[in-house]
């Protein structure tokens, strides 16, 4: 259960709600051969029908995508964009543009896989072989990060018919050795094994594997995925970023400089893909309410293809204004707190060892131990320790979140007129304390 204040009841996850039951399927039971029909990548029959319906009814997402493609606008990801247009409209000229681009100088493995899969009917045998050869060459290179591994999954699935084992030699070690043995254990330990800016590509991989192999990567890290949608939503600054195309919500970042529009695009795309992956979950319904506001609809050449591919305007959503103002992820120690859901709110974020304060439209990155004014929100108090070993403060709230203590450490907690008790911090060094209603007492904490 996600620790939030006040408590919000979460719907039980199908399959994942019974601990261990969903993961009882062993590697011996799994089949890593790809036998599905094209299109295999991201475009399920239901999603393709929805996209074709959007075209038929001339929805605003389709009209914007069509205007850019038909108007000859430069597309930052031409393979992805033109191949998607071809799948929806069956326009041969769009397929030709995607194929010409893919057979050019590019070695973008992800987009090459999408063109091979989505434009298959428009490829000549010679073009198909040339494109497959490029993809095999790309697969020979090291994968690297999550984005690289996701591209390998897409490539192996797109190429499966021309592989002697239908992709098993590529997909099986990626799932068993990389994901289940390396990444998932780190995620379940509260470590940032998947950077926020790569969560979208993780979801592309998840969609492709579930659609073609019926393998759900969440089963290896249920605690991480249980809290991920709300963690992702809460991890945005209050103020939006204005651009000529549309407004963007800005995801948290720790580098110097201004917000990156590309990061904002992928952050929204990740949320759209999350809702598409599990639309029945309660958190997905709040996330849908967060997404379905026209001013945040991505209209630019980079974002519109993601917007059209994943958005489902028929999916019911709940107002995120009903969500608590303080979110605490007990697995990672992340804390995101705000004084309101309005854009002029004061916001505090503690994530992956970074402490930030957003107020007056400015991000303030604070050093460890920096003094911050205690933030009160919805009956809770958030404050940061100036030393990781000890802290004194006045508790005048039912829930108190103390940030920047020693991770996974035991502390003695003393409150006026109460017996001392033990408390333990989480993987991020966050300590959550609870007090009776109308409490106003001095508190001292000290590490064992």
Strands (E), 303-440: 326-328, 335-338, 347-351, 354-359, 362-366, 375-377, 380-384, 390-395, 399-403, 410-415, 421-424, 431-434
Beta bridge partners of 401: 382, 432
| Domain 28-320: which CATH number of 3.20.20.80, 1.10.3680.10, 3.60.21.10, 1.50.10.100 | 1.50.10.100
Asked whether 273 and 203 are in contact (CB, 8 A), the reply is yes
Q: CA nearest 337: which of 372, 380, 395, 386?
A: 380
pLDDT of amino acid 293: 92
Alpha-carbon distance of 307 to 301, in angstroms, equals 11
- Considering only CA atoms, which of 164, 166, 157, 165 is closest in space to residue 135? 157
* Burial group, residue 417, by CB count within 10 angstroms (0-12, 13-18, 19+): exposed
Q: What is the pLDDT of residue 298?
A: 98
Give the integer Cα–Cα distance in Å for 379 and 400: 9
Q: Each residue's pLDDT tens digit in the chain (448 positions)?
A: 344 433 333 333 444 444 344 444 455 679 999 999 999 999 999 999 999 999 999 999 999 999 999 999 999 999 999 999 999 999 999 999 999 999 999 999 999 999 999 999 999 999 999 999 999 999 999 888 999 999 999 999 999 999 999 999 999 999 999 999 999 999 999 999 999 999 999 999 999 999 999 999 999 999 999 999 999 999 999 999 999 999 999 999 998 899 999 999 999 999 999 999 999 999 999 999 999 999 999 999 999 999 999 999 999 999 999 999 999 999 999 999 999 999 999 999 999 989 999 999 999 988 766 767 788 887 789 998 888 888 999 998 989 999 989 999 999 999 987 889 999 999 999 999 999 888 889 999 999 8
DSSP 175: I
State both tokens at 419.
């017996």
In angstroms, rounded to a whole number, what is the distance separating the alpha carbons of residues 40 and 117?
A: 7
What is the pLDDT of the chain when averaged over all its residues? Answer: 91
What is the spatial distance between Cα 254 and Cα 263, in angstroms, rounded to a whole number?
Answer: 12
H or E element: which one contains 308? helix 304-310
Question: What is the reported pLDDT for 372?
Answer: 74
Provide the total of helices (H) and of strands (E) in the chain, helices listed first: 14, 16
Secondary structure letter of residue 189 according to DSSP? T
- For residue 421, the model assigns a pLDDT of 94
What local confidence, expressed as pLDDT, does residue 2 receive?
A: 41
**Separation between Cα atoms, residue 286 and residue 215, nearest integer Å:** 26
Measuring CA to CA, which residue among 342, 352, 401, 397 is closest to residue 372?
401
Domain locations in the chain as residue ranges: 28-320, 324-447
93-113 in b/e form (b: 16+ CB < 10 A) is: ebbebbbebbeeeeebbbbbb
Q: Please, which contacts does 165-174 make with residues 24 or more away whose CB atoms are closer than 8 Å?
A: 165/33, 166/33, 166/34, 166/35, 167/32, 167/33, 167/34, 168/32, 168/33, 170/139, 171/32, 171/34, 171/209, 171/213, 172/27, 172/32, 174/143, 174/149
Question: What HEC string does 369-384 produce?
Answer: CCCCCCEEECCEEEEE
Question: Distance of CA 283 to CAs 10, 60, 274, 310, Å?
Answer: 7, 26, 10, 17
The whole-angstrom separation of Cα 318 and Cα 299 is 24
Nearest to 108 by CA among 76, 74, 84, 70: 76
CB-CB contact of 208 with 153 (8 Å): yes
Instruction: Give strand pairing partners of 442.
Output: 394
DSSP string for residues in 159-173: HGGGSTTTTHHHHHH
Strand 399-403 relative to strand 375-377: parallel, antiparallel, unpaired? unpaired
Q: Where are the beta strands (DSSP E) in 104-145?
A: none
Nearest 5°: CA angle at 309, between 282 and 270? 50
pLDDT of residue 11: 36
């Amino acid at each position: 259960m996600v620790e939030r204040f006040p408590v919000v009841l979460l719907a039980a996850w199908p399959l994942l709600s019974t601990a261990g039951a969903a993961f009882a399927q062993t590697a011996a039971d799994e089949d890593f051969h790809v036998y599905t029909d094209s299109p295999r990548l991201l475009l399920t029959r239901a999603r393709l029908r929805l996209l074709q319906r959007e075209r038929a009814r001339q929805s605003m997402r389709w009209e914007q995508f069509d205007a850019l493609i038909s108007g000859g606008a430069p597309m930052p990801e031409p393979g992805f964009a033109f191949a998607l247009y071809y799948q929806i409209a069956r326009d041969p000229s769009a397929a030709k543009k995607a194929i010409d681009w893919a057979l050019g100088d590019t070695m973008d493995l992800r987009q090459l896989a999408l063109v091979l899969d989505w434009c298959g009917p428009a490829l000549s045998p010679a073009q198909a072989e040339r494109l497959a050869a490029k993809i095999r060459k790309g697969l020979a290179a090291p994968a690297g990060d999550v984005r690289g591994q996701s591209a390998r999954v897409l490539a192996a699935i797109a190429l499966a018919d021309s592989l002697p084992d239908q992709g098993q030699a590529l997909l099986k070690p990626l799932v068993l050795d990389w994901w289940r043995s390396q990444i998932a254990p780190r995620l379940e330990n509260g470590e940032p094994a998947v950077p926020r800016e790569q969560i979208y590509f993780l979801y592309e991989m998840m969609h492709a594997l579930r659609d073609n192999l019926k393998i759900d990567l969440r089963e290896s890290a249920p605690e991480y995925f249980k809290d991920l949608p709300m963690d992702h939503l809460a991890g945005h600054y209050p103020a939006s970023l204005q651009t000529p195309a549309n407004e963007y919500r800005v995801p948290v970042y720790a580098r110097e400089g201004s917000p990156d529009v590309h990061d904002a695009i992928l952050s929204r795309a990740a949320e759209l893909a999350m809702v598409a992956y599990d639309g029945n979950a309660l958190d997905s319904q709040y996330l849908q309410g967060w997404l379905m506001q026209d001013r945040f609809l991505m209209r630019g050449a980079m974002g519109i293809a993601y917007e059209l591919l994943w958005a489902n305007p028929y999916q019911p959503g709940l107002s995120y204004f009903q969500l608590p103002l303080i979110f605490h992820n007990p697995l990672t120690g992340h804390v995101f707190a705000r004084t309101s859901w309005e854009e002029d709110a004061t916001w505090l974020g503690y994530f992956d060892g970074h402490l930030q304060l957003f107020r007056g439209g400015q991000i303030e990155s604070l050093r460890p131990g920096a003094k911050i004014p205690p933030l009160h929100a919805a009956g809770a108090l958030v404050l940061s320790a100036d030393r990781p070993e000890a802290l004194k403060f006045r508790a005048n709230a039912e829930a108190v979140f103390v940030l920047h203590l020693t991770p996974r450490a035991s502390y003695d907690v003393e409150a006026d007129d109460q017996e001392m008790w033990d408390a333990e911090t989480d993987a991020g060094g966050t300590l959550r304390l609870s007090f009776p209603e109308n409490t106003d007492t001095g508190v001292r904490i000290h590490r064992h």
